[in-house]
Amino acid sequence: MTDIALTDSILSFAIPAKNCRGRVARLGPALNQILASHAYPPIIRDILAEAVCLTAMLGALLKDEGSQLTLQAQTEAGVINLLACDYKDGALRGYIDFDRERLAAQPVEPSLMALFGKGYLAITFDQPATRGRNQGIVPLEGASLGEAVQNYFFQSEQIPTLIRVAIDSSADRISVGGILVQHLPPGEEGRGRLHAQLDHPEWEHVAIMAGTVTPAELTDPTLPLEDILWRLFSESDEVRVLNGKACVKGCRCNEDHIRDVIARFPKEDKDDMVDDEGNIAIDCAFCSKTFLISGVSLNN
């Protein structure tokens, strides 16, 4: 797997002797394309960068082609009104809607609670070919989104999980890197849960090793992802690299897709959508584009 790209990629791995699996990711150009769609202030930009990285690692847990992972924040009385990211076959997109006036009233480094208020994190695994849709919702608690996702796996999935995400915004372009490690039941994936045995000696060892990763290692565009795994887990019997996945900015909005969605509405609803010039204007929040669809063309 030495040909895995240094950025915009996810590497899946397993440590069989310790019954652990994980994902390590680094995003650069694809992330900057997502961020470029909106003029986000630095603190909002960094929150979205972390969310996109988490979405990439969670999405890489899905096995079947065509499966989708969606991460959303439901908020109340916070600076951020909406956060939404999703992953499908390596394609990533993300968007944040926020209140600029409330943000201006915050300190330089606002807490997660200040940004999201009384928030909840919803993670949806959509696997139509096998397991259908599964969603878990947990409170947005902790110092970061990464900690909130750890809480999700502890509360909803009962899987001991460690997550670290680092952001480098020192250059003109931002980069983000992350690692996700989980303890699984002995044997193959899919067997009974460990019931959150956080004190299991196998898990304690791996969690300590994974926790030593540095922000510089996660974001360094010259450091191969395989080398990070070697540095962290070289004492293990075997670190098995399973596969690599390239990531791209992927917004699924296009005129054909929008026409297909509008066509599902009753005629009276479509008529109500038409403006004075005879068009239906559809905005895509993810890529900040407006699509004008002729109302007459929908009836042809």
Instruction: Tell me which of 249, 268, 291 is where a domain ends.
Output: 249
CATH number of domain containing 290: 3.90.1280.10
Residue 2 lies in a domain: no
Cβ burial, residue 11 (10 Å; 0-12/13-18/19+): buried
Q: What confidence tens digit (pLDDT) does each residue in 27-45 have?
A: 999 999 999 989 999 999 9
Query: Is residue 1 assigned to a domain?
Result: no
Question: What pLDDT, on a 0 to 100 scale, did the predictor assign at position 261?
Answer: 75
Same domain for 162 and 279, yes or no, is no
Q: Are residues 170 and 30 in the same domain?
A: yes
Task: Name residue 281's amino acid.
Answer: A
Q: Is residue 261 part of a domain?
A: yes
**Residue that wins the pLDDT comparison between 275 and 116:** 116
- Sequence-distant (≥ 6) Cβ neighbours of residue 187 within 8 angstroms: 19
The reported pLDDT for the residue numbered 185 is 65
Which residue did the predictor score with more confidence, 23 or 264?
Answer: 23
Q: What is the structure's pLDDT at 210?
A: 94
* 255 phi, psi to nearest 5 deg: -60, -40
pLDDT the model gives residue 187: 47
- Residue among 24, 26, 122 at smallest CA distance from 70: 122
Q: Work out the angle between the directed axes of helices 201-210 and 225-233 (0-180°, nearest 10).
A: 130
Question: Whole domain around residue 278: which residue ranges?
Answer: 255-299
Average pLDDT over residues 292-296: 73
Q: Of 210, 233, 249, which residue constitutes the final position of a domain?
A: 249
Query: Which pLDDT score, from 0 to 100, does residue 194 have?
Result: 43
pLDDT of residue 190: 44
The answer to whether residues 24 and 178 touch, using CB atoms and an 8 Å cutoff, is yes
Alpha helices in 73-224 (DSSP H): 100-104, 112-116, 145-152, 201-210, 215-219
Q: Give me the CATH number covering residue 181.
A: 3.55.30.10
Question: Are 197 and 280 members of one domain?
Answer: no
Same domain, 140 and 263: no
Please list the helix, strand and coil fractions of the chain in percent, rounded to the nearest 5, in that order: 30, 30, 35
The 10s digit of each residue's pLDDT in 153-199 is 888 778 899 999 999 988 778 999 999 999 986 544 444 444 445 55
Regarding whether 153 and 67 lie in a shared domain, the answer is yes
In this structure, are residues 48 and 31 in contact, taking their beta carbons and an 8 Å threshold?
Answer: no
Nearest to 234 by CA among 214, 210, 198: 210
Question: Are residue 188 and residue 47 in the same domain, yes or no?
Answer: yes
Query: Tens digit of pLDDT for each residue in 249-263?
Result: 987 777 777 777 787
How many angstroms separate the CA atoms of 72 and 52, rounded? 11
Q: Which two tokens stand for residue 260?
A: 């297909």
Do 125 and 274 lie in one domain? The reply is no
pLDDT band at 16 (very low <50, low <70, confident <90, very high): confident
- Is the pLDDT at 7 greater than 70, yes or no? yes
Helix (H) or strand (E) holding 136: strand 132-139
Task: State whether 157 and 273 are in the same domain.
Answer: no
The three-state DSSP-derived secondary structure of 57-68 is HHHCCCCCCCCE
- Region 107-133: mean pLDDT is 87
Q: Is residue 32 part of a domain?
A: yes
Number of compact structural domains in the chain:
2
Q: Report angle CA 220, 226, 231 to the nearest 5 degrees.
A: 80
Is the domain of 277 the same as that of 164? no
Query: Does some domain include residue 35?
Result: yes
Strands 9-15 and 240-246, sheet pairing: antiparallel
pLDDT digits (tens, 9 = 90+) for 62-114: 888 888 999 999 898 899 999 999 999 999 999 999 999 999 999 988 999 99
Q: What are phi and psi of 113, to 5 degrees?
A: -65, -40
Confidence tier at 47 by pLDDT (50, 70, 90): very high
Average model confidence (pLDDT) for the chain? 85
What residues form DSSP beta bridges with 162?
A: 181
Residue 3 located in a structural domain: no
Token pair of 295, please?
């109302």
Distances (CA, A) of 215 to 30, 176, 209, 246, 295: 19, 9, 14, 21, 51
Q: Do residues 294 and 181 share a domain?
A: no
| CA-derived radius of gyration, the chain | 21
Q: Are 157 and 295 within one domain?
A: no
Asked if residue 178 and residue 268 are part of one domain, the reply reads no
Say if 147 falls within a structural domain: yes
User: Whole-angstrom Cα distance, residue 94 to residue 249?
Assistant: 9
Q: Which of 48-52, 56-60, 246-250, 263-267 has the lowest mean pLDDT?
A: 263-267
Is 229 part of a structural domain of the chain? yes
Looking at residue 195, its pLDDT comes to 45
**Residue 146 and residue 149: Cα distance in Å, rounded?**
5
The end-to-end CA distance of the chain, in Å, is 51
Q: What's the CA gap between 205 and 54, in Å, rounded? A: 23
